[in-house]
Amino acid sequence: MYYVGVDLAWGERKPTGLAVLDQDGGLVHVSTAQSDEDILAALAPYTAGDCLVAIDAPLIVRNETGNRPAEAALNKDFARFHAGAHPVNTTKPEFSGTPRGARIASALKLDLNPRSGRGRRAVEVYPHAATVALFRLGRTLKYKAKPGRTREELQSELLRLMSLVGGLAGAEPALHTDRPGSRWPELIEAATGAERKSELRVVEDQVDAVICAYVALFTARHPQMVTVYGDVENGYIVTPTLPEGLEPSTHEDVTAEDPVSVAVREYALRQPALVEAADRFCVLVKSILDEAGINYLSVTGRAKAVASFAGKAARRTADGELVYSEPLREINDQIGVRVITYVQDDVATVADVIHDQLLVKRDRDMGEETARQGRFGYRSRHMLIALDAAREGHSEYEPLRGMAASLQVRTVLQHAWAEFEHDIRYKGTVPAEQAPELDRRFTLAAGLLELADQEFSIIRDRLAANRVLPGEEPAGSGETTGRDTADDDSRIGARELAAFLAGQYPEAGWSRTEHYTWITGLLAELAITSLPELTEVLVPVNELDLNARMDYKYPPGAVRRLDDALLAAFGEKYVALPGNADRRGLLKSRLEKLQASTE
Rounded mean pLDDT, 67-93? 93
Q: Which residues pair with 16 in a beta bridge?
A: 33
Q: Which of 223, 256, 289 is the last residue of a domain?
A: 256
**Mind spelling out the 3-state secondary structure of 300-356?**
EEEECCHHHHHHHHCCECCCCCECCCCHHHHCCCCEEEEEEECCHHHHHHHHHHHHH
* Res 1 pLDDT > 90: yes
Single residue among 364, 397, 414 that ends a domain in this structure: 414
**Rounded distance between C-alpha atoms, residue 312 and residue 481, angstroms:** 59
**Percent of the chain, pLDDT > 90?**
42
Mean pLDDT of 191-199: 89
Mean pLDDT, residues 117-127 taken together: 94
DSSP state, residue 242: P
Residues 360, 296, single domain; the answer is: yes
Is the pLDDT confidence value at 479 over 60?
no
| Measured distance CA(366)–CA(353) in Å, rounded | 18
Q: What average pLDDT does this structure show over 144-173? A: 85
Q: Among 62-76, 188-202, 477-491, whose mean pLDDT is lowest?
A: 477-491
Claim to verify: residue 277 and residue 410 sit in the same structural domain:
yes
pLDDT > 50? residue 584: yes
| Tens digit of each residue's pLDDT (9 = 90 or more) over 371-425 | 777 767 677 899 999 999 888 888 888 889 999 999 999 988 887 777 766 665 5
> Looking at the predicted structure, is the pLDDT value of residue 488 above 60?
no
Q: Which of 349, 382, 414 is the last residue of a domain?
A: 414
| Weakest-pLDDT range from 158-172, 439-453, 581-595 | 439-453
Residues 276 and 239 in one domain: no
If asked whether residues 239 and 383 sit together in one domain, one would say no
Amino acid 258: pLDDT: 63
Do 21 and 116 sit in the same domain of this protein?
Answer: yes
- Flag whether pLDDT at 216 surpasses 90: yes
Q: What pLDDT is attached to residue 466? A: 59
Query: For residue 216, what are the domain limits?
Result: 2-141+172-182+206-256
Strand segments, DSSP code E, in 398-534 are 404-411
Region 85-98 average pLDDT = 91
- On whether residue 577 sits in a domain, the answer given is yes
Asked if 124 and 241 sit in the same domain, the reply is yes
Q: State whether 249 and 269 are in the same domain.
A: no
Looking at residue 446, its pLDDT comes to 72
Residue 523 vs residues 169, 494, 573, 579, 591: alpha-carbon distances, Å: 55, 11, 12, 10, 18
Are 36 and 103 in contact, with CB atoms under 8 Å apart? yes
135 and 213 within one domain? yes
Model confidence band, residue 471 (pLDDT cutoffs 50, 70, 90): very low
- CATH code of the domain covering residue 356: 3.30.460.10
Residue 467 in domain: no
Could you tell me the CA-to-CA distances from 327 to 167, 368, 400, 404, 494 in Å, in that order?
13, 28, 20, 15, 49
Classify burial at 493, counting beta carbons within 10 Å of its beta carbon; exposed 0-12, middle 13-18, buried 19 or more: buried
CA angle in degrees (0–180, nearest 5) for 326-329-330? 75
* Average pLDDT of the segment spanning 479-493: 56
- Read off the pLDDT of each residue in 460-482 and give the average, rounded to a whole number: 53
1 neighbors 221 (Cβ within 8 angstroms): no
Q: Dihedral through CA 464, CA 468, CA 474, CA 478, nearest 10?
A: 120
End-to-end CA distance of the chain: give it in Å, rounded.
78
Q: Is residue 514 part of a domain?
A: yes
| pLDDT value of residue 425 | 53
Q: How many Å apart are CA 60 and CA 99, to the nearest integer?
A: 7
> What mean pLDDT value characterizes the chain?
85
**Is 70 exceeded by the pLDDT of residue 430?**
no
463 lies in some domain: no
Decide if 518 is inside a domain.
yes
Residue 8: predicted pLDDT: 95
Can you give the pLDDT at residue 432? 63
pLDDT > 80? residue 217: yes
Pair type for strands 298-303 and 335-341: antiparallel
Q: Which residues, in sequence order, are bridge partners of residue 303?
A: 335
- pTM equals 0.54
At residue 251, the pLDDT reads 56
Residues 239 and 276 in one domain: no
Cβ-contact 105, 270 below 8 angstroms: no
Beta strands in 111-205 (DSSP E): 120-124
What gap in Å lies between CA 287 and CA 31, rounded to an integer?
43
What is the DSSP code string of 252-283?
GGGSSPPHHHHHHHHHHHHHHHHHHHHHHHHH
Lowest mean pLDDT among 98-112, 117-131, 366-380: 366-380
The three-class DSSP label of residue 65 is coil
pLDDT value of residue 156: 87
- Give the CATH number of the domain where residue 87 resides: 3.30.420
- CA 99 to CA 119: how far, in whole Å? 23
Residues pairing with 329 in the sheet: none
Q: Which of 155-159, 402-406, 508-512 has the highest mean pLDDT?
A: 402-406
Bridge partners of 167, per DSSP, are none
Identify the pLDDT of residue 416. 79
Q: Averaged over 361-375, what is the pLDDT?
A: 80
Q: What is the mean pLDDT of residues 64-81?
A: 94
Q: What is the pLDDT of residue 221?
A: 92
Burial of 39 (0-12, 13-18, 19+ CB in 10 A): buried
Q: Residue 465's pLDDT is what?
A: 60
pLDDT in tens, 283-325: 999 999 988 888 888 999 998 877 678 778 878 787 778 888 8
**Ranges 109-118, 254-263, 294-303: which has the least confidence:** 254-263
pLDDT band at 495; cut points 50, 70, 90: confident
Distance, CA of 447 to CA of 244 (rounded, Å) = 48
Rounded Cα distance, 404 and 385, in Å? 5
Rounded to an integer, what distance in angstroms lies between the CA atom of residue 571 and that of residue 552? 19
In this model, does residue 533 exceed pLDDT 70? yes
Better-predicted residue by pLDDT, 35 or 138: 35
Q: How many helices (H) and strands (E) does the chain have?
A: 22, 12
Is residue 451 in some structural domain?
A: no
Q: Please give the tally of structural domains in the chain.
A: 3
The reply to whether 376 and 390 lie within a common domain is yes
Q: Evaluate if residue 595 carries a pLDDT over 90.
A: no
Instruction: Please report the pLDDT score of residue 578 as a whole number.
Output: 92
230 with 288, same domain? Answer: no
- Same domain membership, residue 348 and residue 242: no
pLDDT at 17: 96
Residue 30, class by beta-carbon neighbours within 10 Å (0-12 exposed, 13-18 middle, 19+ buried)? buried
Handedness of CA 548, 552, 553, 556 (dihedral sign): negative
Please report whether residue 327 resides in a domain.
yes
SS3 235: strand
Residue 442, in any domain of the structure: no
* pLDDT tens, residue by residue, 555-570: 788 888 899 999 999 9
